[in-house]
Amino acid sequence: MIAIYEESKKIRQSDVEIADRVKDHFVKKQAERACQLVEDAVHIYSDLFETDDKIFIITPFRTVAESMRKFIISYFSVKGYDKEILSKWTKNCVGTVHTFQGKDANEVL
């Protein structure tokens, strides 16, 4: 199987990023990094946004998931991806750990 990383990896945030958090716990730098990884994945999974079994993005809170969905749609629509397809994909593939209970994906962020 081809993957973004060959093995599991922990991506750490700096203390500065922690200090930049807003009320809903959303950290823009983390969202940007997640989008960069998803962008890498698009080169591996050409049908990524048309499927819901390639990548899950797990967030700690529902408010973070909602902000992450909006961020991903904005990030990729600027790059020419269809907002409707992105909206459907983020609804199915971005959420809290409870969203993905009993589901499998090739990769999890």
**Per residue in 17-33, pLDDT tens?**
554 555 678 889 999 99
DSSP conformation letters of 15-65: HHHHHT--TT---HHHHHHHHHHHHHHHHH-TTGGG-SSSEEEEESSHHHH
Contacts of 72 (CB under 8 A, 6+ apart): 31, 34, 35, 38, 57, 86, 90, 94
**So what's the pLDDT on residue 48?**
95
Q: pLDDT digits over 66-108, tens only?
A: 999 999 999 999 999 999 999 999 999 999 999 999 999 999 9
The reported pLDDT for the residue numbered 90 is 97
Q: What is the pTM for the complete model shown?
A: 0.83
